[in-house]
Each structure stands twice: as C-alpha cells, then as structure tokens.
Amino acid sequence: MLDKRKSGILCHPTSLPSPYGIGDFGENAYDFVDFLEEAGISYWQILPLTPVGFGNSPYQSHGSFAGNVYMISPDLLQKKGYLTKNQLENPPNFNEEEIEFERVYKYKDALFKMAYESSKKDPGFTLPFAKFCSENDWLDDFALFEALSQFIGNMPLHEWPKLLFDKTAAGLSKYIERLEDEIKYRKYLQFEFHSQWYKLKDYVNEKGIKIIGDLPIFVSGNSADYWANKELFLKDSQGLPSAVAGVPPDYFSETGQLWGNPLYDFSAQKKDGYKWWTKRFKHNLSMFDIVRIDHFRGFESFWQIPSNSETAISGKWVKGPGKEFFDTIEKELGSLPVIAEDLGIITPEVTKLREDLGYPGMKILHFGFLDGPKSAFLPHNFENSNTVVYTGTHDNNTTVGWYRESEEDIRDFTRQYLRVSGNDIAWDMIRLAFASSADTAIIPVQDLLGMDESHRMNTPGTAQHNWGFRFKKAALGIEIKDGIRYLSWLYGRESEPVVKSDI
C-alpha cells in the first residue's frame, strides 16, 4: 500500500545532466533530489538500474542483480583519489540532450580502467571490497559471464562454445585462472556502482523521498541469469530457450511485441519455493523503497511464443503461478511494497490477482482520451484510490507529442474534458493527474519540461534511438519547481520525511 495523496517524478538517472555524456550518481543527481524536495515531491521513480542489453534497453539486461556501471560518477571516483583532476579535464563534447552510447562507453571504460588500477594501491579498499563480494552471491557468476563474453568477442550466449555455455567446472577452470584480473575488475565496477547508489539512496530518504524502482518480469537470454540458472527456464535438449516472451497485438503494435526473453519454468521453480525470485525481490527491496513490477500480468498468464517465431502473433496464453507465488515470497520477506504494471490486455483474472494481493495498479491518462467518457483511464472512472496515475510512462510519447500526433477528435475531446485550449497541454494533464483520486500521481520529467515527441524515452517495437533521453542542467528552473509545488499543495500531495535507510 502506498502513502495517501503523494506525487512523484519519473526520471531515469541516465537522463540527468552530466559533463560525461550520461547521467550518473554524482553532484547533478543530488541536485535533482534537492529539486524534488523543494517541489514537494514524495517519489523518485526510475527505470531498471541493471546493465543495458540489446538496443541499449534496461529491459534486456545481461544481469538482473548487477548495476549499469556507466552510472558511476567519475567525479566521485576522483574524490576517492582513484582519478585525478587532470584525467577528468576536457571531456569530449557530448550531446547534452541525447546519450551517444558508443562514445560514452569508450570514454568511461578508459576512466574506469585507470580508477581500478588506482584502487589496487589503496590499503583501505581491500576489506570493504571483500565484504561486498562475500555478501553478494550473484557476483561470481555475473563477473565471470562478463569476462568470458568479452574474451570470446561478445558473441551472444547461444553461440558460445559448448564447454562454456554448459558452465561446467572442467570447461571453466582454465578461463577463470586466465581471466582472473578481468573478473576482479568486473567485481570492482559493481562495488563502485553499489557504493555510490546506496549513498545517493540514503540522501534521497533523508530528504523525505522514496525511490520507486523497476523490476522487469523477464530476463535476457543473453545474460548471466540464464547462463547460470538454466534449470529455471523452459528450454530444449541443447539448453536453449524453447519458448520466448512477448505480448499479442495491442495499442503499441499490430503484430504484437516479440521480446525474445526466455520464459520461466514455474513448475520447476515452485519445487524450491521460488528461491531465485525471493533473492531477486530481496535484492531489489534493498536498493529501492518500492518496486514496480513490469508486466505484472505475466504472473497470472503469459504470452508464450515458439522460439523460432518471427512475430508474436503465433503465441498463446499460458497460466502463470498466480497468488501462490507472491504468498510464498511474502512468507519469507514480509509484505511487498509493490506497484503492479497492469497495462495492455488485462483480464478479470489479472485484476482479481492484483486486488487479492492489495497491490495498486496503473492508470495512463493518454489512454483515457481514446475511448471517450466511459474509459477506465479517466479519473472520474477510477474505481478506488489504490491507484498510481501517470500522464504517460517511458513507453508512451510525451504528452505534448501525444496531443500533437493525435487525431482531431481526440484532441477535441481532450480540450472539452479538461476545459482548456490545449496550448499548455502537458501542465493541463499534470493538473488532472494531481487532482485525481489516485493515491499516487507520477509525472515523467519530459512532461514537467513540456517537451515534444523528439524527447520520448522509448518507442515500443523499435530498436533504434531509444533510452537516450537527457535534459540540460538549467532545464528544471524555479518556475517549474514553484509550479509543481503549488499543485502538490493545492491537491494535498505534499511530502513528509521518511526514516533514513540503514543499508
């Protein structure tokens, strides 16, 4: 259950201003938290913090317990003495409004290598690093997977030599010895990532703000998760996925979405009490205060597509583990602070599962203007307050872009419903979200900034030009801060302090 009458901003850390081409956990992240506090905001919602995969997507990660190391702040490494001021002088002239991924990776990789070499000379590094490694049992498999992947030319997992793909001790022993320093380097990066993140999280909580993280239901087939835990998935005799995930045709795509993620063998997982999932939830709840489960409906039924299919049309619905899955995990971890992403094709069975668990669902205001006054996504039709309302999400167009690209009848109904001209549509929709009965209202930072379609985060069904959105340092000025603070006050959504994290 979320707190009553609160508001939040959706902004992935990679979108924050930074001189190093990608948002990180440095000074600008702390400045953003200060902005949230001064604006009366209670929640900072982010996307998965995991390493990105195909198309630079955080939803195709190669490690669901690991962190995206490119969020590590070089400035904080410099403060530790691992980089010098000279090494950080004159960074490349990066685009301030879009991540240039390859340029960023090349630049930061060089910095990280230098920082790693410096860490070896720090007598105060050994004990905390050893403690981190011993407390994170996922780290050995992830670091080895990363080192092996680089060593064999970043081939996808299904093309790995069989001895390595099968993860046998005999097949791995000589590689572990040969790649010893590279494996330690990968662990070092995870140590720095988590160290910087937890310090930032403590600062967030001290300001009376909670972090909403994001837990994708599926993992990538090209991941340490699949490599080290094949017994958890539906697979063929060769150990390859026999079926993959996606969704049938919907609002986003006429042929559905073929995500390609391997599907879980929930029957096998049930036998050990969903141990891997329990560990995954525990890890996420140490990093975040609340977790949004992406594609929650997959726990009731999931779209199973043969692995050789070219589109998602050939799939079928298969029953998921249901309430028993969550009951088992909650027996171990206690009540889960969860937001259930219940968008797309939602059946009464999915709704019942969410309601039986007491998890709030999601309402997207953009969707409300597609079907007229009876739409369940319009505030006057919200069934209860245990709801999180968004103008849009990372998968939607910005509000300005959505309005501009909508048919005239939709724009006309929008103006009538809001009783506005449409000239300031982003803030008109923000006001509607804040005024709604939903306990929680979340606004993407692009809508806060009144940005158009060229600034959207992701276009589902496409692999290019996604996940790279950034905004400039001066964008969040006093006028925006005062405006959102006023709406927080006007609609009773002001923030209150929370207890500091003891992580």
Q: Of these residues, 75, 341, 342, 439, which one is catalytic?
A: 341
Got the DSSP string for 218-269?
S--SSSHHHHH-GGGB-B-TTSSBSEEEEE-S-SS-TT-EEEEEEPB-HHHH
- Residue 365 near residue 433, CB atoms below 8 Å: yes
Backbone angles phi, psi at 383, to 5 degrees: -75, -30
Q: Of these residues, 294, 428, 439, 447, which one is catalytic?
A: 294
In the annotation, is 395 catalytic?
A: yes
| 481-484 LR contacts (CB < 8 Å, sep 24+) | 481/35, 481/38, 481/39, 483/427, 484/7, 484/39, 484/40, 484/41, 484/430, 484/443, 484/448
The strand pairing partners of 264, in sequence order, are 233
In the annotation, is 294 catalytic?
A: yes
| 159-166 LR contacts (CB < 8 Å, sep 24+) | 165/227, 165/239, 166/239
From residue 500, alpha-carbon distances to 83, 203, 287 in Å are 30, 8, 13
- Residue 347 near residue 248, CB atoms below 8 Å: no
Q: Residue 288: how many CA atoms within 13 Å on its side-chain side?
A: 26
Cβ-in-10-Å burial (0-12, 13-18, 19+) of 237 comes to exposed
The strand pairing partners of 6, in sequence order, are 440
Rg, Å, the chain Cα set: 23
> Which stretches of 327-416 are assigned E, i.e. beta strand?
338-340, 361-364, 387-390
* Closest C-alpha among 191, 194, 195 to residue 129: 191
Q: Of these residues, 289, 395, 439, 447, which one is catalytic?
A: 395
Give the whole-angstrom CA distance, residue 118 versus residue 81: 8
In the annotation, is 137 catalytic?
A: no
The strand pairing partners of 363, in sequence order, are 389
Looking at the chain, how many residues does it have? 503
Give the whole-angstrom CA distance, residue 47 versus residue 389: 17
Which residues form the catalytic set? 294, 341, 395
